């Protein structure tokens, strides 16, 4: 089974990317404020900050609009992460936010833990596939 989603169409994924971008902006403001307090001219600091805001804005637009692909067949692939279906203990479906949270037997840093969807039909197909796979294990 293969499906794609765009973060702009999923409320949880959109919030995740917007929060990440906000953290980058806060980090940039703190860094420029520190550099100004240590002797950088305020004019240069403002110019650097404006360019950084532009880069973060373009990064956010790109990440929200980028299509991401998931693939399930023995393993759940979301490049570069993957999770073996045997490691999935159970899962929780959130139909309102169009996502499935996986509970793993062996948690790993590089494991896929959340599956995002654009459409409810694809989510239902993935739910049926996961239920069938977990029952077989």
Kindly list the domain boundaries of the chain, sorted by start residue. 2-65, 68-136
Report residue 22 as tokens.
Answer: 């906000």
Contact 78, 126 (CB under 8 A): no
pLDDT for res 78 = 86
pLDDT digits (tens, 9 = 90+) for 24-38: 999 999 999 999 999
CA-based torsion, 62, 15, 31, 36: positive or negative:
positive
Q: What is the DSSP string of 74-122?
A: SEEEETTEEEEGGGEEEEEEETTTTEEEEEESS--TTS--EEE-SSHHH
pLDDT of 92 strictly over 70: yes
pLDDT digits (tens, 9 = 90+) for 96-113: 999 999 999 988 888 999
Report residue 107 as tokens.
Answer: 């948690």
pLDDT for res 6 = 94
Pick the CATH number of 68-136 from 3.10.420, 1.10.287, 2.30.29, 1.10.3470: 2.30.29
9 Cβ contact list (under 8 Å, min separation 6) = 118
């Amino acid at each position: 089974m293969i499906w794609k989603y765009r973060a702009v169409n999923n409320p949880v994924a959109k919030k995740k990317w917007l929060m990440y971008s906000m953290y980058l902006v806060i980090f940039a403001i703190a860094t420029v404020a520190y550099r100004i307090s240590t002797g950088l001219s305020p004019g240069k600091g403002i110019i650097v900050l404006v360019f950084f805001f532009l880069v973060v804005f373009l990064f956010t637009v790109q990440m929200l609009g980028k299509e991401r692909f998931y693939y399930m067949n023995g393993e759940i692939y979301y490049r570069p992460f993957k999770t073996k279906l045997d490691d999935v203990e159970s899962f929780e479906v959130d139909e309102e936010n169009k996502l499935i949270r996986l509970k793993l037997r062996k948690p790993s840093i590089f494991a896929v833990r959340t599956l995002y969807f654009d459409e409810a039909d694809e989510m239902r197909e993935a739910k049926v596939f996961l239920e069938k796979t977990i029952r077989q294990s």
